[in-house]
Amino acid sequence: MKIKLVRSVIGRPDNQVQTIRALGLKKIGDSREVSDAPAVRGMVKTVKHLLEVQE
């Protein structure tokens, strides 16, 4: 699964900022290939409004 950060984490709750960092994203436009594990899916679901996800 490929994820890309498309919105800023400025002003977001701390748990959302930490989730984005745990996914390995730092700046807008950063993208990463992540495994399709249930734990990762839960993290993506938490911040889905900040990400663009491709299966």
Cα angle 33, 51, 29; round to 5 = 70
Dist. CA 9–CA 47, nearest whole Å: 10
CA 54 from chain centre, in angstroms, equals 12
- The chain-wide mean pLDDT, for the chain, equals 97
Interatomic CA distance for residues 42 and 10, integer angstroms: 21
pLDDT at 55: 86
Angstrom distances, CA of residue 19 to CA of 30, 32, 49: 14, 14, 13
- Report d(CA 30, CA 32) in Å as an integer: 7
Structural domains of the chain ordered from first start = 2-54 (3.30.1390.20)
Q: Read off the pLDDT of residues 31-41 as tens digits, 9 standing for 90 and up.
A: 999 999 999 99
